[in-house]
């Protein structure tokens, strides 16, 4: 915050009423900006939960309580262990004497048996398989012949493919650090693979799955709807960015030192994509003009929560409920048809536009100052209004930036809603 000096305050006072008002407007804007930053958390913005510190916000859910009782519902197929007809092992527990009179019953044939089954892991140990390649001397020409080892047996001693696969799984899917993977193998199997062996297994796996990754990438490029996102991660101690493109059945990851368009181009999906791109309305995504942009309503709901909490504007609650009602309608309709009825879409669009009008009344754009580009920066109102947003039909709409994309209400897939 840039606090004006006493000389600047006196100068504004000498210049008259308008200069003094502008100075106060600037200070109000500065204070409001700082207050907004302090009041943002993981529940009302895109900030991660780790940034909440010790002041964790009270958990608030957008879901409304239903009328159903807790627990399994009527008709729900439960999942529990069931006895098998052919167990791997049977342990017989004999009746040795009568509990009533004490008679010895060892030689009496049993009438029946009660059965209880225990599901457990058998004792685990690493087995060592020795490969022996025969060496034979030809009796006809005296040539020395040596049999070939399997392609994956390349050293005098090595870990097998199952151990390497388990290490790759733990590291890449369960996100277990290298040292703890070594601890696991030592505790369970009595062997401790080095971190170098685990990294080598990762590299081998990456090379083996490259054809599958290339196929996934091509399928994503040709998909109708794809979700895009990015998050920071450390690579050798330096900040990098993990970019992801996904559908309910496909996922592709890419790591890049940069977060923006350079990384997206390097990933090679969004730059070739021509369908519907679902994202969090981060500005670099809008560099891609050949796609239809659909914005994440989870972000919208958090942004609306912030505006309601910070500025107490009731239209935000109406918009949140509108989005939740749209999602409910989409979820119900998806069971038996591919798109919402046109009258239902029209109804939602009318409701949507009416709420936007209310939001704009409370948050009008500030007029441009003579000789300056854009709107005045010292606007104490929430930064939610956007004029001139262009949708895919080349029409212009006066929409709130938390709700720039009308596709969220005209598409059926849960990906949108």
Q: What digits encode the pLDDT tens for the residues 8-67?
A: 778 877 888 888 888 777 777 777 777 777 777 766 666 677 666 666 666 666 666 666
User: H or E segment at 230?
Assistant: strand 225-235
pLDDT tens track for 144-171: 999 999 999 999 999 999 999 999 999 9
Task: Output the CA torsion sign for 341, 347, 350, 352.
Answer: negative
What confidence category does residue 252 fall into, taking pLDDT thresholds of 50, 70 and 90?
Answer: very high
Q: How much is the pLDDT for 334?
A: 78
Average pLDDT estimate for 303-318: 85
Q: With 50 as the cut, is the pLDDT of residue 392 above it?
A: no
Q: How much is the pLDDT for 406?
A: 33
What confidence category does residue 415 fall into, taking pLDDT thresholds of 50, 70 and 90?
Answer: very low
Q: How much is the pLDDT for 344?
A: 85
Q: Which parts of 174-311 fold into alpha helices (H)?
A: 178-189, 195-208, 210-221, 261-267, 297-311
**Distance between CA atoms of 258 and 273, rounded to whole angstroms?**
20
Q: What does the buried/exposed string (b/e) look like for 86-112 if buried means 16 or more CB atoms within 10 Å of the residue's CB?
A: eeeeeeeeeeeeeeeeeeeeeeeeeee
Is residue 266 within 8 Å of residue 284, measured between CB atoms?
Answer: no
Q: How much is the pLDDT for 65?
A: 65
**Distance between CA atoms of 384 and 400, rounded to whole angstroms?**
5
What confidence category does residue 178 fall into, taking pLDDT thresholds of 50, 70 and 90?
Answer: very high
Q: Name 396's Cβ contacts closer than 8 Å, sequence gap at least 6.
A: 387, 388, 389, 390
CB neighbours (10 Å) of residue 359?
23
**Distance between CA atoms of 16 and 12, rounded to whole angstroms?**
7
Secondary structure of 28-94 as H, E, C letters: HHHHHHHHHHHHCCCCCCCCCHHHHCCCCCCCCCCCCCCCCCCCCCCCCCCCCCCCCCCCCCCCCCC
Average pLDDT estimate for 116-134: 94
Residue 125's Cβ-side half-sphere holds a number of Cα atoms within 13 Å equal to 4
Is residue 301 within 8 Å of residue 320, measured between CB atoms?
Answer: yes
User: H or E segment at 354?
Assistant: helix 342-362
Residue 385 pairs with which residues in a beta bridge? 400
Average pLDDT estimate for 195-216: 95
Q: How much is the pLDDT for 416?
A: 31
Residue 397: phi, psi to the nearest 5? -125, 145
pLDDT tens track for 58-112: 666 666 666 677 766 777 777 788 999 999 999 999 999 999 999 999 999 999 9
Task: Bin 394: left if φ > 0, else alpha if -120 < ψ < 50, else beta.
Answer: left
Nearest of 393, 362, 394 to residue 379 by alpha carbon? 362
What confidence category does residue 206 fall into, taking pLDDT thresholds of 50, 70 and 90?
Answer: very high
């Amino acid at each position: 915050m840039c606090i004006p000096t006493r000389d600047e305050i006196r100068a504004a006072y000498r210049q008259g009423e308008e200069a003094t008002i502008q100075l106060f407007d600037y200070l109000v804007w500065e204070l409001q900006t700082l207050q907004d930053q302090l009041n943002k958390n993981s529940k009302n913005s895109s900030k991660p939960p780790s940034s909440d510190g010790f002041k964790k916000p009270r958990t608030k859910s957008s879901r409304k309580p239903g009328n159903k009782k807790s627990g399994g519902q009527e008709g729900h197929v439960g999942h529990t262990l069931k006895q098998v007809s052919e167990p791997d092992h049977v342990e017989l527990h004999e009746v040795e004497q009568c509990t009533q009179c004490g008679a010895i019953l060892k030689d009496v044939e049993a009438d029946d048996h009660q059965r209880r089954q225990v599901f457990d892991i058998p004792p685990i140990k690493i087995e060592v398989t020795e490969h022996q390649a025969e060496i034979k001397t030809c009796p006809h020409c005296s040539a020395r012949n040596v049999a070939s080892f399997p392609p994956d047996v390349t050293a005098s001693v090595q870990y097998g493919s199952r151990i390497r696969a388990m290490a790759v799984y733990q590291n890449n899917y369960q996100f277990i650090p290298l040292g703890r993977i070594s601890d696991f193998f030592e505790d369970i199997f009595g062997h401790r693979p080095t971190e170098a062996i685990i990294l080598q297994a990762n590299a081998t796996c990456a090379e083996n799955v490259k054809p599958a990754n290339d196929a996934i990438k091509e399928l994503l490029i040709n998909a109708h709807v794809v979700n895009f996102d990015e998050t920071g991660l450390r690579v050798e101690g330096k900040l990098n960015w993990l970019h992801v493109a996904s559908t309910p059945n496909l996922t592709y990851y890419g790591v890049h030192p940069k977060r923006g368009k350079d990384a997206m181009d390097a990933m090679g999906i969004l730059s070739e994509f021509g369908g519907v791109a679902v994202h969090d309305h981060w500005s670099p995504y809008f560099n891609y003009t050949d796609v239809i942009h659909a914005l994440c309503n989870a972000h919208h709901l958090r942004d609306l929560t912030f505006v309601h909490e910070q500025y107490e504007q009731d239209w935000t609650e109406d918009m949140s409920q509108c989005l939740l009602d749209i999602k409910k309608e989409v979820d119900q309709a998806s069971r038996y048809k591919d798109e919402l009825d046109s009258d239902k879409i029209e109804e939602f669009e009318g409701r949507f536009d009416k709420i936007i009008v209310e939001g704009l009344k409370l948050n009008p754009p500030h007029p441009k100052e003579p000789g300056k580009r854009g709107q005045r920066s010292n606007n104490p109102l929430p930064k939610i209004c956007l004029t001139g947003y262009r949708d895919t039909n080349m029409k212009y709409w006066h929409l709130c930036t938390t709700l720039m994309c009308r596709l969220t209400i005209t598409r059926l897939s849960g990906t949108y809603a």
